[in-house]
Amino acid sequence: MTIPSETTAPLLQISALTKRFGGFTALDNVSVDIRPGERFGLIGPNGSGKTTLINCISGAFRTEVGTVTFRGEDITQMPAHVRTRRGIARSFQIPRPFRSMTVLENLMVALDFAVATDPLVSVAHRRETAMSILTGMGLAAKADASATTLSQVELRKMELARAMATRPKLLISDEAMAGLSSSEVDEVLDLLMSLAGHDITVIMIEHIMQAVMRFSERVMCLDAGRIIAIGKPSEVMANQRVQEAYLGT
Amino acid sequence: MNRNGILFWIGAALFLLIIALMTHFVRNEYPFFAGYVILQFIVLAVAWSILGGHAGYVNFGTSAFFGMGVYTAVFLFKVAGAPLAVQIAAAAAVGALMGFALGLITLRMQGIFFSIATIAATIVIETSITNWRYVGGAAGIQLQRPPVTPPFDGYVQMLFFVQALLVVLAVAISRYIQSSWIGRGLQALRDDELAAECTGVPTLRLKVLACVISGALMCAAGAPAAMYLQYADPSSAFNLNYSVSVLAMSLIGGTAHWLGPVVGAILLGSTQQLLTVTISSEVNVLVLGVMLVLFVVGAPEGLIGLLKKIRKEGK
Amino acid sequence: MRSGADRGSGGCAGRGGLCVFSIDLLLDAVVLGVLLGCFYAAVSLGLSVSFGLLDVPHVAHPAFLVLASYAVFVLNEQYGIDPLLGGLLITPFLFLFGLAAYRLYYETFEKRGSDAGVRGIAFFFGIAFIIEVLLILQFGVDQRSVTASYIGKAWRIGDMRIPFRLVVAFGVAAGLTILLALYLSKTFMGRAIRAVAQDQEALRLMGANPIRIKQWAFGIATAVLGISGALLIIVAPVDPVLDRAYIGRTFCVVVMAGLGSMTGTLVAAIILGVAESIVLTLFGASWAPAISFALLLGVLAVRPQGLFGRRS
Amino acid sequence: MKRRTLLGASIALAVAGLTSGAVAQQPPIKIGMSMPQTGGLAGGGKASLLGIEIWRDDVNARGGLLGRKVELVVYDDKSSASETPAIYSKLLDVDKVDILFAPYGTVPTAPIMPLVKQRGLLLMGNFSFQVNSKVGHDMWFNNAPWGPADSWAASFLDIGQKAGGKTVALLSADQEFAQNLVVTARDVAKRLNMPVVFDQAYPPNTVEFSSIIRALKAAKPDIVYVSSYPPDSAGILRAVNEIGIGDNVKVFGGGMVGLQFGAVMENMGSLLNGVVNYNTWLPEKSMYNEGTKEFFDTYTKRAIEAKVDPLGYYLAPFGYANGQMIEQAIKAVGSLDQKALAKYLRENTHKTIVGPIAFAADGEWKQSATLQAQFRGIVDKNMEQFRQPGKQVILFPANLKSGDLVAPFEAARK
């Protein structure tokens, strides 16, 4: 099922996407359009294919069936790093920092590679950029700390910061709030809110419902690799099958 | 940063100057014979850690690259009596090609698979050389050195100096890589390949690049060995010992900094030379084994890491 | 190249007269290859658990193997104990040895997390060298072999003769493979081990202790070496540095099989054995190693996860 | 080039000068060598070294040479070619040894040939094969009884032909020494116009020989010439024993390295029966010379604590012989002048415990004394049996012959 696309041309267009691992079908004919600037929530029980879907968007997986189109360009066969340069950035369910680097260096990687490296842009200038991003995330103090010394919430923030450093058009946050205290959840949520909007589209995967409710303009629920509901948060929540999927009845 | 650069080049110049003076004023030839071997291991270790250290991909094929270097030299010398410089240049080219091919085949694989693949590649290459009659095959081949080219007054002295040049070259390259975006990219993909990709790092291309550079340097380091030994046979040229020693040297020195493999090579290399002319028995294999275990367990960051730690605690 | 025109050749190449034979020569080669392959499987199974399932870069596996062979040799030499029985006798000790070895490995590497790979390899190389030297100091550099009723005899089928040694290797290897496969799929611990291989996190969430399970698995992987070591010295004499010859072969088999698949290991080993045997029989024998390892490279290039790989 | 020979000469002079000056305070005469004590050649290397050490002790017991004690300077070359150049440079430039012995084996020796030639030094070879053929150093003398390169292939194929053999099969290890042997065998076979019906080089670390023996059998040769290495020789004989080799095979063996070492022979036991293989010394009546028995009495004692080959027939006496030759040369010349010593060694026949040795121009023995002997009545797991005569019957050379060939091979195995 496809959503009747809105007036503006979609930023991300997924059509008839199917992903199999051996016999097991992780994504089954998934199609969805995401508008520029949209705040999009992705929910579903464990193993429903959420992470698989964003792996297919970010290029961690290649897909055999279906296409992924980003800003009018078919990126289905592109390797991940090219997609990143095209403007797709993500965080990971379990944070994946560059452990041997400082927080600042983590961002420098993004600035060195993702942003079309312009020799004229001096190292010093890149550092500034990185610092300003960190400041925006409230991580400035930790800039020279080793990534391994960060707390859970700081790791989450750093990953978002690193993602932002790639100057993304589309930011995918994969359970960035998992295992955080409620106050921390709000912190991160506000962060995502502030990022979204000004020409950055955000896809948020989340288990914490009220977070999704608060954040999303539109919510999609996956179950067993299929879209079982999509639309306004309230509608989706009300949906019979969604509740079944969650309550496992 | 920049001052460091100047200091480095001054150091390199001094190093070469001392070497050059040695070749003219030291009459005793032993330092050159023994020193040559150590310099050769420095090049190999530095080259190895460009891929093995920065990117964390363990190449077991050191002996394959080294051996190919030897046999490139042998072939060119036999077919055209090519001069040393040509032998080395050609070897570097061959090494780069090998690195590229090997990289393309194997660097898609996660770390350890790459290591296995390099073992396999080594055996394939060694077998091919063993079956290549023209360069002596399994029976090996004896070579007669051409007269030495001035200003040197002994061939060994010349080889010693040439190997020293290679050391400077290798270290300079490794040093540049470490401080440049290439180094940061390799470091990132060593830490987390997927995260690196998703941060825009072209992991495969970087790995292949590293493999090419490292391969070229290893082959180049092997080339002069043909003239040094004036003899080549596959089982010596492709000896597993090269792969393991180089791995050990890099780890003992520490792979986090370009200086690590240099230190490691000097330490282990001279230890091995020393043991050869002192203990001279199975025991020196034992020493290698024990050193390996002690260091990876006791000083996982190698000597360099150890020093850093000490300095930290000093403060 | 050597094995070209200037060198005559066995089998069929060039010599019309021999082509008549090459059919049942081929048949023999295949049969012997299968047997040899099973032997390779037997010496690789342990690694297929320790490296295949646990991702331990166990370069010292062949060294442990040779060590086990020497233990079997001593039992056979001193007390005239049958090698296979000897292999069984040392199995429990190897199991304990394995537990200890993994503990050490875990404490020093996996605990510290990132790139245990490089250091792990160096570590095990060190261990391997130490074992080599200790064996040399104890037994000298000469080859050692064992005596048993089934060594040196052959089994006749028509004019085909099959060495009993290999038949034994075949039987034991097959048995061992099936046993391990069953253990890993049927028993609770076995399934736990596979789970660890799949996803440690998941297991930890389920409240099981992955380290314990991995330690146990490594114990199993080492214990298997009792029988493998016995086969090693039954099939051919051993010397202290024989392990170097098997680093390539065993890893080749395990990787070609696809990590952690027992039946895969058997099949891959048989492919290797048959390839080797056919080349030895019919073509330039000296190319045998190139062939089998080119095979591995081929597999890795096309299917990085191996023939029966579990990973995507 | 000229400059270099000059340099070499001057060093040679320097060495000579140093020693003659030194006679006053009687420092020892240093004999330097590398010897494989680890790696593939270690087994042989250690036995060979023991032989040389026994000579050193004997000569020192006799009051040394030129009134000076003899001292050995020995380093381990790990059986590899890459170690020896540094070692020999150390021996010459740091240890300032007076005489050089070569390491056991061809691979470690090859790299030092150019060195000694360039410096104009005497080198006593130790069981290397044809290392001097390309270098052409006229101060090189090999203690091994090979003689002309093709001699043992010739003698073996000749024995086979006399036994009615017409076709030849060649099975060789794809390693340096074995390949040198098989090359000569090809030439000899051509010369005797015996067709080669099988010719394979098996790779190092071959585990199982059944299939290759099966192929060899299928070629139906009359004579099987095998040049193999210790680790493989056992595997080959096992496979032959199991697979069989065909009744038409007259003689089997020739160049199997390893069947000379006690431990290997003990391992193989009855598998050895019938094999005709090369050797250098055997406990047959014809082999004893002045001092031979005494040497082996000493060797047998010292081999035990030295943990080396308990028999030591293959290398040890020749190591001792090397010592004897240098001893005679130094006594005759009365100095350590390398050129003079070389001249003496080249022009005279030397009495040694392995018989009289005379050198050809290339520094190899004038005529081959490489034995071809057939194993007879060997039982399993018994080291002592090999000390008795009659267990390895010498078929070649004629002057040392101690019995006749039993053929065909299958018959001789029983």
- Quick check: A166 pLDDT over 80? yes
Residues A21, C114: C-beta atoms closer than 8 Å: no
Averaged pLDDT for residues D194-201: 92
Q: What is the CATH number of the domain that holds D343?
A: 3.40.50.2300
Confidence of residue B292 (pLDDT cuts 50, 70, 90): confident
Same domain, D178 and D69: no
Q: Give pLDDT, residue B65.
A: 96
Q: Give pLDDT, residue C282.
A: 79
Q: Give pLDDT, residue A116.
A: 61
The C-alpha atoms of residue C18 and residue C26 are separated, in whole angstroms, by 12
Q: For chain D, give me the number of helices (H) and strands (E)?
A: 15, 12
Same domain, D141 and D155: no
Same domain, D142 and D157: no
Closest CA in chain C for residue A20 = C312
Residues C312, A21: C-beta atoms closer than 8 Å: yes
Does B270 reach chain D within 8 Å, measured CB to CB? no
Which residues on A lie below 8 Å from B197 (Cβ)? 59-60, 79-81, 84
User: In whole numbers, what is the pLDDT of chain C averaged over residues?
Assistant: 82
Q: Give pLDDT, residue B116.
A: 81
Within chain C, residue ranges assigned H as helices are: 16-50, 61-79, 83-108, 116-139, 164-186, 188-198, 200-205, 210-223, 225-235, 243-257, 262-282, 288-302
- Quick check: C12 pLDDT over 60? no
Residues C143, D215: C-beta atoms closer than 8 Å: no
Interface mutation target, options B156, B158, B280, chain D, most CBs of D under 10 Å = B280
Provide the pairing of β-strand C160-163 with C154-157: antiparallel
Structure tokens, B166: 């290679």
**Helix (H), strand (E) at residue D100:** strand D99-104
The C-alpha atoms of residue D414 and residue D412 are separated, in whole angstroms, by 5
Partners of D32 in the β-ladder? D73, D100
pLDDT digits (tens, 9 = 90+) for D217-241: 888 999 999 999 887 888 899 899 8
Domain enclosing residue D293, as ranges:
2-147+289-347
Averaged pLDDT for residues B231-246: 89
- Quick check: A115 pLDDT over 80? no
Lowest mean pLDDT among A6-10, C76-80, D243-247: A6-10
Q: What share of chain A in percent tops pLDDT 90?
A: 23
In sequence order, what are the residues at sequence separation of 6 or more whose Cβ sits closer than 8 angstroms to the Cβ of residue B245?
Answer: B41, B268, B269, B272, B288
DSSP D65: B
The C-alpha atoms of residue A101 and residue C31 are separated, in whole angstroms, by 56
Q: What share of chain C in percent tops pLDDT 90?
A: 30
Residues D243, C142: C-beta atoms closer than 8 Å: no
Please indicate whether residue D413 or residue C41 has the higher confidence score (pLDDT).
C41
Residue C171, sorted as left (phi over 0), alpha (psi -120 to 50) or beta, turns out to be alpha
Q: How far is B5 from chain C (nearest CA, A)?
A: 30
Q: Give pLDDT, residue D315.
A: 93
Same domain, D162 and D280: yes
- CB atoms under 10 Å from CB of D380, counted, come to 13
Q: Find chains touching chain D: ≥3 CB pairs under 8 Å.
A: B, C
Number of domains in chain B: 1
pLDDT digits (tens, 9 = 90+) for A75-103: 988 999 999 999 999 998 888 999 889 99
- Quick check: B46 pLDDT over 90? yes
Confidence of residue D169 (pLDDT cuts 50, 70, 90): very high
Residues 106-145 of C with CB under 8 A from A: 113-114
User: In whole numbers, what is the pLDDT of chain A averaged over residues?
Assistant: 85
Number of inter-chain CB pairs under 8 A, A vs B:
79
Which residues on A lie below 8 Å from B192 (Cβ)? 96-99
- Quick check: D291 pLDDT over 70? yes
Q: Give pLDDT, residue A131.
A: 92
Does B229 reach chain D within 8 Å, measured CB to CB? yes
Amino acid in position B241 = N
Amino acid in position A195 = L
Q: How far is C182 from chain D (nearest CA, A)?
A: 29
Does B85 fall in a domain? yes
Does B307 fall in a domain? no
Same domain, D157 and D269: yes
Does D355 fall in a domain? no
Q: Give pLDDT, residue A125.
A: 83
Averaged pLDDT for residues B167-190: 92
Q: Which of D332, D347, D362 is the last residue of a domain?
A: D347
Structure tokens, D64: 């040394």
Same domain, D128 and D172: no
Q: What angle do CA C287, C292, C293 make, to 5 degrees?
A: 100
Confidence of residue D263 (pLDDT cuts 50, 70, 90): confident
- Quick check: C253 pLDDT over 60? yes
Confidence of residue C310 (pLDDT cuts 50, 70, 90): low
Same domain, D194 and D293: no
User: In whole numbers, what is the pLDDT of chain B averaged over residues?
Assistant: 89
Task: Note the ipTM here.
Answer: 0.85
Domain enclosing residue B118, as ranges:
2-236
DSSP string, C4-42: STTS--STTSS-HHHHHHHHHHHHHHHHHHHHHHHHHHH
Residues B121, C252: C-beta atoms closer than 8 Å: no
Does B250 fall in a domain? no
User: In whole numbers, what is the pLDDT of chain D averaged over residues?
Assistant: 88
Averaged pLDDT for residues C213-223: 92
Q: Give pLDDT, residue B52.
A: 87
Averaged pLDDT for residues D111-130: 92
Q: What angle do CA B74, B232, D225 make, to 5 degrees?
A: 120
- Quick check: A147 pLDDT over 80? yes
Lowest mean pLDDT among B94-103, B162-171, B255-264, D37-46: D37-46
Q: Give pLDDT, residue C8.
A: 38
Q: Give pLDDT, residue C211.
A: 84
Which residues on C lie below 8 Å from A99 (Cβ)? 113-114
The C-alpha atoms of residue B297 and residue C120 are separated, in whole angstroms, by 9
Confidence of residue B115 (pLDDT cuts 50, 70, 90): confident
- CB atoms under 10 Å from CB of D184, counted, come to 20
DSSP D93: I
Q: Give pLDDT, residue B87.
A: 95
Q: Give pLDDT, residue C207.
A: 64
Averaged pLDDT for residues D58-62: 94
Same domain, D211 and D177: yes
Q: How far is A236 from chain B (nearest CA, A)?
A: 31
Within chain A, residue ranges assigned H as helices are: 50-58, 80-86, 103-113, 123-137, 152-165, 182-195, 209-215, 233-238, 240-247
Measured CA to CA in angstroms, residue C30 lies from B127, D203, D210 at distances of 23, 19, 12
pLDDT digits (tens, 9 = 90+) for B7-35: 889 999 999 999 988 888 888 889 999 99
Backbone angles phi, psi at A115, to 5 degrees: -80, 125
The C-alpha atoms of residue D34 and residue D45 are separated, in whole angstroms, by 9
Comparing CB atoms, the residue among A60, A109, A166 nearest residue B184 is A109
Same domain, D71 and D125: yes
Does B193 fall in a domain? yes
Q: Find chains touching chain A: ≥3 CB pairs under 8 Å.
A: B, C
DSSP D386: G
Number of inter-chain CB pairs under 8 A, C vs D:
141
Same domain, D218 and D253: yes
Q: What share of chain D in percent tops pLDDT 70?
A: 94
Show the domains of chain A with their CATH numbers: 12-96+155-247 (3.40.50.300)
Instruction: Find out if CATH 3.40.50 is the number for domain C16-302.
Output: no
Of A225, C292, A105, C203, the closest CA to residue D208 belongs to C292
Q: How far is D411 from chain B (nearest CA, A)?
A: 35
Confidence of residue D8 (pLDDT cuts 50, 70, 90): very low
Number of domains in chain D: 2
Q: Find chains touching chain B: ≥3 CB pairs under 8 Å.
A: A, C, D
Does B266 fall in a domain? no
Which residues on B lie below 8 Å from A107 (Cβ)? none
Comparing CB atoms, the residue among C1, C125, C296 nearest residue B131 is C1
Averaged pLDDT for residues D287-312: 92
pLDDT digits (tens, 9 = 90+) for B74-86: 999 999 888 999 9
Averaged pLDDT for residues C142-149: 82
- Quick check: B260 pLDDT over 70? yes
- Quick check: D181 pLDDT over 60? yes
- Quick check: B37 pLDDT over 90? yes
Q: Give pLDDT, residue A7.
A: 57
